[in-house]
Structure 1
Amino acid sequence: MAHAPARTPRGVEGAPSGATRLCAECLAPVMGVQPGQLFCCPAHRKAFQQRQRIRGRQLTAYAMVDRMTRSGTAGSAEAREIGKKARAVTQRLIAAWAAEDKAAGRMSMVDYLHRYTKHFDLPL
């Protein structure tokens, strides 16, 4: 079983003085003192990670076909056709998940990744 690469902390700076960090799952203030803490409690971290795991499993094949066919513009006629369909599915899933997160009061993935990259390097 492959494990995710270890996250490497970039620095030890915490939230700026007077700034409130919000939980990526519930948008409640995070009271922890750990630099880079993204969740208010372990249950919210686990819920977020489980949702991302499920979404990743659903998206991976479509995203790969989308990329490999250059959104349905490269390869054989059959490859281009499935590439166009994969692109549509990819976009539809992402839009649905963004709307689901907004309706549930969760942080957008843009905001989450912005906060994440302040403290950790992205995997290559």
Structure 2
Amino acid sequence: MDVLHASPEKPRQRVAYPPRQCPECGATFKPQDQRQLFCTKEHRTAWNNRATVRGRVLTPYAMAARQTRDGTRGDKLTGKRAAQISHELMQRYRDEDRDAGRMDAVAFAALRIQHGFDPV
């Protein structure tokens, strides 16, 4: 019985990905992986922790606003107030990010879509 000998492994070639901007700090960096969005693990963690906190606050109001069509269907009073609150929160978050030099939500969504992140 013959034994097949594996040939020596070819050295892996590093792929050079184009530089991109870190959403957290705005610095340009060279990603090590095609899907790397942040320059450091700490920046990814900071971004995700902030998004988690914001999402916990915003989601119930945004959903109530959407389900009542901003207060034109169903519980109109709650829907109108939920829409106001969700809009105020989104504006606050946008202003906080701009003041801190972070990427805005539209640019971040575009970056995620461009690099294959799909939450659905």
The runs of 5 or more residues in structure 2 that have no matched partner are 1-14
In the alignment, the residues of structure 1 paired with residue 20 and residue 35 of structure 2 have an alpha-carbon distance, to the nearest angstrom, of 9
> Counterpart of 2:21 in 1: which secondary structure?
coil
- TM-score normalised by length of structure 1: 0.80
In the alignment, the residues of structure 2 paired with residue 112 and residue 72 of structure 1 have an alpha-carbon distance, to the nearest angstrom, of 29
Does the aligned pair in 2 maintain the 1:21–1:29 contact within 8 Å?
A: yes
Does the aligned pair in 2 maintain the 1:21–1:30 contact within 8 Å?
A: yes
> Counterpart of 1:36 in 2: which secondary structure?
coil
The runs of 5 or more residues in structure 1 that have no matched partner are 1-11
Higher Cα Rg, which structure:
2
Question: Judging changes above 3 Å, is the alpha-carbon distance between structure 1 residues 13 and 61 closer, same or farther for their aligned structure 2 residues?
Answer: farther
- Percent identical: 39
Deviating above 4 A after TM superposition, structure 1's stretches of 4 or more consecutive aligned residues are none
* Residue correspondences, number: 106
In the alignment, the residues of structure 2 paired with residue 24 and residue 72 of structure 1 have an alpha-carbon distance, to the nearest angstrom, of 34
What does residue range 9-88 of structure 1 map to in structure 2 within 5 Å?
Answer: 14-15=17-18, 20-75=19-74, 79-88=75-84
- TM-score normalised by length of structure 2: 0.83
CA RMSD of aligned residues (A): 1.6
